[in-house]
Amino acid sequence: MRVLVATIVAALAGGSATLAGAQHQHSHDPSTPVAPDTRQFVKFPAPLVEHTLANMRDHLQTLQEIQSQLAMGQTDVAAKVAETRLGMSSLGLHGAAEVSKYMPQGMQDAGTAMHRAASRFAITAQEAGVTGDLKPVFAGLAEITAQCVGCHAGYRLK
């Protein structure tokens, strides 16, 4: 029985990897013309480019940690992670005042909206710990992510 389960798991894992690879590769067909990158180029001083990219990687890691905590039913932990690493109280941690000087207004607005959405999410996640209603939690998480997607779609660093 264990061999059968192991075989099924291996087949599913391989199938998932193949599907993911096929989905990823379809947009990189060399015969397909590539659309030009129309995002606004934002020039930061070199040390701030690395700092900002590291912050964005941390934001992405934080979103993953929030999702993991929600999957385990730990809405209170997800709330704390969101507020301390993405919310308005995290601005000092990321050096937002220094970095924002180099951002166009739209990029600043997207960043502020993301941090505010994270703080609202933290409150919503805490409330869900009492109510058990996760719909607003996932809507709040989508709002945070939408700000990230919007900013990355409009701006780029080099």
Q: Is 156 helix (H, G, I), strand (E, B) or coil?
A: strand
Cβ atoms 55, 151 nearer than 8 A? no
CA–CA separation, 76 and 113 (whole Å): 22
Whole-model pTM: value is: 0.78
48 and 121 share a domain?
A: yes
27 and 73 share a domain?
A: no
The tally of domains found in the chain comes to: 2
126 and 84 share a domain?
A: yes
- Quick one: pLDDT at residue 93? 87
CA–CA separation, 153 and 79 (whole Å): 27
pLDDT in tens, 56-88: 999 999 999 999 999 999 999 999 999 999 999
42 and 29 share a domain?
A: no
Q: Between residues 26 and 136, which one has the greater pLDDT?
A: 136
11 and 65 share a domain?
A: no
- Which residue, 24, 138, 6, 131, is CA-closest to 78? 138
- Quick one: pLDDT at residue 28? 66
147 and 99 share a domain?
A: yes
CA–CA separation, 90 and 23 (whole Å): 36
- Quick one: pLDDT at residue 27? 56
Question: Which residues form the domain of 24?
Answer: 1-34
Confidence of residue 20 (pLDDT cuts 50, 70, 90): very low
18 and 95 share a domain?
A: no
pLDDT at residue 53 greater than cutoff 90: yes
